[in-house]
Amino acid sequence: MLTRKQTDLLSYINQRLQEDGISPSFDEMRDALGLKSKSGIHRLISGLEERGFIRRLAHRARALEVMRLPESAAASGAPKTAPSGPVTTLGRPVSMPATDIELPLYGRIAAGTPIEALRDPDATIRVPAAIVGRGRHYALEVAGDSMINAGLLDGDTVVIQDGPNYKPGEIVVALVDREEVTLKYLHQQGTKVALEAANPRYETRLLEPDRVQVQGRLVGLIRQY
Protein backbone atom coordinates (compact mmCIF):
# COMPACT_ATOMS: atom_id res chain seq x y z
CA MET A 1 0.00 0.00 0.00
CA LEU A 2 1.33 3.41 -1.00
CA THR A 3 0.74 6.65 0.82
CA ARG A 4 -0.91 9.51 -1.03
CA LYS A 5 2.41 11.33 -1.38
CA GLN A 6 4.12 8.22 -2.74
CA THR A 7 1.29 7.72 -5.23
CA ASP A 8 1.43 11.37 -6.30
CA LEU A 9 5.19 11.20 -6.79
CA LEU A 10 5.01 7.93 -8.73
CA SER A 11 2.34 9.40 -11.01
CA TYR A 12 4.42 12.54 -11.58
CA ILE A 13 7.59 10.58 -12.39
CA ASN A 14 5.68 8.31 -14.77
CA GLN A 15 4.07 11.29 -16.51
CA ARG A 16 7.42 13.05 -17.00
CA LEU A 17 9.04 9.89 -18.35
CA GLN A 18 6.25 9.49 -20.87
CA GLU A 19 6.39 13.15 -21.93
CA ASP A 20 10.15 13.88 -21.85
CA GLY A 21 11.85 10.50 -21.70
CA ILE A 22 13.79 11.62 -18.60
CA SER A 23 12.87 11.61 -14.97
CA PRO A 24 12.37 14.95 -13.19
CA SER A 25 15.00 16.42 -10.90
CA PHE A 26 14.61 16.32 -7.13
CA ASP A 27 13.91 20.07 -7.17
CA GLU A 28 11.14 19.55 -9.72
CA MET A 29 9.67 16.71 -7.69
CA ARG A 30 9.79 18.80 -4.54
CA ASP A 31 7.99 21.69 -6.25
CA ALA A 32 5.41 19.40 -7.88
CA LEU A 33 4.45 17.87 -4.53
CA GLY A 34 4.64 21.15 -2.63
CA LEU A 35 7.26 19.94 -0.17
CA LYS A 36 9.63 22.25 1.67
CA SER A 37 12.82 20.24 1.27
CA LYS A 38 14.39 17.56 -0.91
CA SER A 39 14.81 15.27 2.11
CA GLY A 40 11.12 14.41 1.87
CA ILE A 41 11.60 13.44 -1.78
CA HIS A 42 14.55 11.22 -0.83
CA ARG A 43 12.34 9.37 1.68
CA LEU A 44 9.51 8.96 -0.82
CA ILE A 45 11.89 7.69 -3.53
CA SER A 46 13.41 5.18 -1.09
CA GLY A 47 9.95 3.96 -0.10
CA LEU A 48 8.90 3.49 -3.74
CA GLU A 49 12.15 1.66 -4.50
CA GLU A 50 11.78 -0.66 -1.50
CA ARG A 51 8.26 -1.58 -2.64
CA GLY A 52 9.39 -2.33 -6.20
CA PHE A 53 7.57 0.53 -7.95
CA ILE A 54 10.68 2.27 -9.26
CA ARG A 55 14.34 1.46 -9.89
CA ARG A 56 17.35 3.75 -9.81
CA LEU A 57 19.67 3.22 -12.77
CA ALA A 58 23.32 3.11 -11.80
CA HIS A 59 25.90 5.64 -13.04
CA ARG A 60 23.27 7.91 -14.57
CA ALA A 61 22.03 11.19 -13.16
CA ARG A 62 18.29 11.70 -12.83
CA ALA A 63 17.78 8.10 -13.96
CA LEU A 64 14.64 6.50 -12.55
CA GLU A 65 12.64 3.71 -14.13
CA VAL A 66 9.00 3.02 -13.26
CA MET A 67 8.68 -0.73 -12.77
CA ARG A 68 4.94 -0.84 -12.10
CA LEU A 69 1.97 1.29 -11.10
CA PRO A 70 -0.59 0.60 -8.36
CA GLU A 71 -3.22 -1.83 -9.62
CA SER A 72 -6.05 0.51 -8.62
CA ALA A 73 -4.52 3.52 -10.39
CA ALA A 74 -5.97 4.70 -13.64
CA ALA A 75 -3.90 4.64 -16.82
CA SER A 76 -3.11 8.29 -16.25
CA GLY A 77 -1.57 7.45 -12.90
CA ALA A 78 -4.24 9.22 -10.88
CA PRO A 79 -3.67 8.77 -7.15
CA LYS A 80 -5.80 6.44 -5.13
CA THR A 81 -7.99 8.22 -2.61
CA ALA A 82 -9.38 5.31 -0.61
CA PRO A 83 -8.22 1.78 0.18
CA SER A 84 -9.75 -0.93 -1.99
CA GLY A 85 -9.26 -3.74 0.49
CA PRO A 86 -11.44 -4.60 3.47
CA VAL A 87 -11.37 -2.31 6.47
CA THR A 88 -11.93 -3.51 10.02
CA THR A 89 -12.09 -1.89 13.41
CA LEU A 90 -11.02 -4.22 16.21
CA GLY A 91 -11.79 -7.21 14.00
CA ARG A 92 -15.25 -6.08 12.84
CA PRO A 93 -15.80 -5.11 9.18
CA VAL A 94 -17.16 -1.62 8.67
CA SER A 95 -18.93 -0.15 5.67
CA MET A 96 -16.98 2.24 3.49
CA PRO A 97 -18.28 5.77 4.10
CA ALA A 98 -18.78 8.40 1.43
CA THR A 99 -15.98 10.47 2.94
CA ASP A 100 -12.60 9.66 4.36
CA ILE A 101 -10.02 11.54 6.36
CA GLU A 102 -6.28 12.02 6.14
CA LEU A 103 -3.98 10.71 8.86
CA PRO A 104 -0.22 11.08 9.29
CA LEU A 105 1.66 7.91 8.33
CA TYR A 106 4.58 7.49 10.71
CA GLY A 107 6.34 4.69 8.81
CA ARG A 108 6.91 0.98 9.33
CA ILE A 109 6.68 -0.46 12.83
CA ALA A 110 8.29 -3.83 13.38
CA ALA A 111 5.81 -6.30 14.76
CA GLY A 112 8.74 -8.66 15.22
CA THR A 113 11.92 -6.84 16.26
CA PRO A 114 11.38 -3.38 17.81
CA ILE A 115 12.51 -0.45 15.69
CA GLU A 116 12.25 3.30 15.96
CA ALA A 117 9.13 4.53 14.17
CA LEU A 118 9.97 6.87 11.31
CA ARG A 119 7.95 10.06 11.59
CA ASP A 120 7.85 11.52 8.10
CA PRO A 121 5.95 14.84 8.25
CA ASP A 122 5.18 14.62 4.52
CA ALA A 123 3.66 11.11 4.55
CA THR A 124 -0.10 10.75 4.94
CA ILE A 125 -2.79 8.21 4.16
CA ARG A 126 -6.53 8.51 3.66
CA VAL A 127 -8.74 6.18 5.72
CA PRO A 128 -12.51 5.77 6.10
CA ALA A 129 -13.88 8.14 8.71
CA ALA A 130 -15.87 5.29 10.28
CA ILE A 131 -12.81 3.70 11.89
CA VAL A 132 -11.63 6.89 13.61
CA GLY A 133 -13.24 7.89 16.88
CA ARG A 134 -12.48 10.71 19.27
CA GLY A 135 -9.01 12.10 19.81
CA ARG A 136 -5.93 12.12 17.62
CA HIS A 137 -5.04 9.20 15.37
CA TYR A 138 -2.16 8.16 13.16
CA ALA A 139 -1.28 5.22 10.93
CA LEU A 140 1.64 2.79 10.87
CA GLU A 141 2.68 0.12 8.40
CA VAL A 142 3.32 -3.29 9.97
CA ALA A 143 6.64 -5.01 9.32
CA GLY A 144 7.27 -8.56 10.49
CA ASP A 145 5.16 -11.52 11.58
CA SER A 146 5.08 -11.49 15.37
CA MET A 147 1.40 -10.36 15.44
CA ILE A 148 0.26 -12.69 12.68
CA ASN A 149 -2.10 -14.68 14.94
CA ALA A 150 -3.84 -11.42 15.83
CA GLY A 151 -4.55 -10.90 12.13
CA LEU A 152 -1.84 -8.28 11.61
CA LEU A 153 0.25 -9.19 8.58
CA ASP A 154 3.42 -7.78 7.11
CA GLY A 155 2.47 -4.77 4.95
CA ASP A 156 -0.84 -4.08 6.69
CA THR A 157 -1.64 -0.53 7.77
CA VAL A 158 -2.89 -0.10 11.32
CA VAL A 159 -4.80 2.89 12.67
CA ILE A 160 -3.68 3.96 16.14
CA GLN A 161 -5.51 6.17 18.63
CA ASP A 162 -2.79 8.43 20.00
CA GLY A 163 -2.17 8.65 23.73
CA PRO A 164 -1.25 6.64 26.82
CA ASN A 165 -4.72 5.25 27.59
CA TYR A 166 -5.34 1.54 27.10
CA LYS A 167 -6.96 -1.48 28.72
CA PRO A 168 -4.81 -4.47 29.78
CA GLY A 169 -4.75 -7.03 26.99
CA GLU A 170 -5.12 -4.51 24.17
CA ILE A 171 -2.65 -4.20 21.30
CA VAL A 172 -0.62 -1.04 21.79
CA VAL A 173 2.29 0.87 20.32
CA ALA A 174 4.91 0.67 23.07
CA LEU A 175 8.05 2.78 23.31
CA VAL A 176 10.75 0.79 25.13
CA ASP A 177 13.64 2.57 26.82
CA ARG A 178 12.72 5.74 24.89
CA GLU A 179 14.38 4.46 21.72
CA GLU A 180 12.62 1.42 20.25
CA VAL A 181 8.99 1.06 19.25
CA THR A 182 6.98 -2.13 18.91
CA LEU A 183 3.39 -3.28 18.37
CA LYS A 184 2.34 -5.87 20.97
CA TYR A 185 -0.32 -7.04 23.42
CA LEU A 186 0.27 -5.34 26.77
CA HIS A 187 -0.45 -7.12 30.07
CA GLN A 188 0.47 -6.61 33.69
CA GLN A 189 2.30 -9.54 35.30
CA GLY A 190 2.86 -8.73 38.93
CA THR A 191 5.08 -5.69 39.10
CA LYS A 192 6.23 -6.08 35.49
CA VAL A 193 4.84 -5.01 32.12
CA ALA A 194 4.51 -7.87 29.62
CA LEU A 195 4.79 -7.20 25.89
CA GLU A 196 3.35 -10.30 24.25
CA ALA A 197 3.55 -11.30 20.60
CA ALA A 198 0.81 -13.15 18.73
CA ASN A 199 3.22 -15.71 17.33
CA PRO A 200 4.71 -18.56 19.40
CA ARG A 201 8.10 -17.99 17.77
CA TYR A 202 8.54 -14.82 19.81
CA GLU A 203 9.06 -14.68 23.57
CA THR A 204 7.08 -12.39 25.85
CA ARG A 205 9.20 -9.50 27.14
CA LEU A 206 8.89 -8.67 30.85
CA LEU A 207 10.00 -5.13 31.63
CA GLU A 208 9.93 -2.67 34.47
CA PRO A 209 7.00 -0.23 34.08
CA ASP A 210 9.29 2.80 33.83
CA ARG A 211 10.90 1.30 30.72
CA VAL A 212 7.64 1.20 28.74
CA GLN A 213 5.61 4.15 27.47
CA VAL A 214 2.33 3.52 25.65
CA GLN A 215 2.07 5.76 22.58
CA GLY A 216 -1.31 4.59 21.34
CA ARG A 217 -3.69 1.66 21.01
CA LEU A 218 -4.86 -0.24 17.95
CA VAL A 219 -8.33 0.75 16.72
CA GLY A 220 -8.35 -0.23 13.05
CA LEU A 221 -6.75 -2.24 10.28
CA ILE A 222 -6.53 -1.57 6.54
CA ARG A 223 -5.49 -4.32 4.15
CA GLN A 224 -5.19 -4.21 0.38
CA TYR A 225 -5.25 -7.42 -1.62
Averaged pLDDT for residues 85-95: 46
DSSP 134: S
How far is it, in rounded angstroms, from Cα 155 to Cα 223?
8
CATH code at 128?
A: 2.10.109.10
Residue 136 has pLDDT above 70, yes or no: yes
Closest CA to 153 of 72, 81, 224: 224
* Length of the chain as a residue count: 225
Give the pLDDT of residue 191: 95
Q: Has residue 58 been placed in a domain?
A: yes
Give the pLDDT of residue 83: 39
Looking at the structure, tell me whether residues 110 and 183 fall in a common domain: yes
Looking at the structure, tell me whether residues 61 and 168 fall in a common domain: no
* Catalytic residue annotation: 146, 184
* % residues pLDDT > 70 (the chain): 78
Of the two residues 189 and 52, the one the predictor is more confident about is: 189
Q: Has residue 136 been placed in a domain?
A: yes
Of the two residues 149 and 91, the one the predictor is more confident about is: 149
CB atoms within 10 A of CB 21: 7
pLDDT per residue as tens digits for the range 153-181: 888 889 999 999 999 899 999 999 887 88
Mean pLDDT of the chain: 79
Q: Domain limits at 62?
A: 4-66
Q: Has residue 73 been placed in a domain?
A: no
pLDDT per residue as tens digits for the range 7-30: 889 999 888 888 877 788 888 898
How far is it, in rounded angstroms, from Cα 15 to Cα 19?
6
Domain total in the chain: 2
Q: Has residue 76 been placed in a domain?
A: no
pTM for this model (two decimals)? 0.58
Looking at the structure, tell me whether residues 51 and 94 fall in a common domain: no
Residue 148 has pLDDT above 80, yes or no: yes
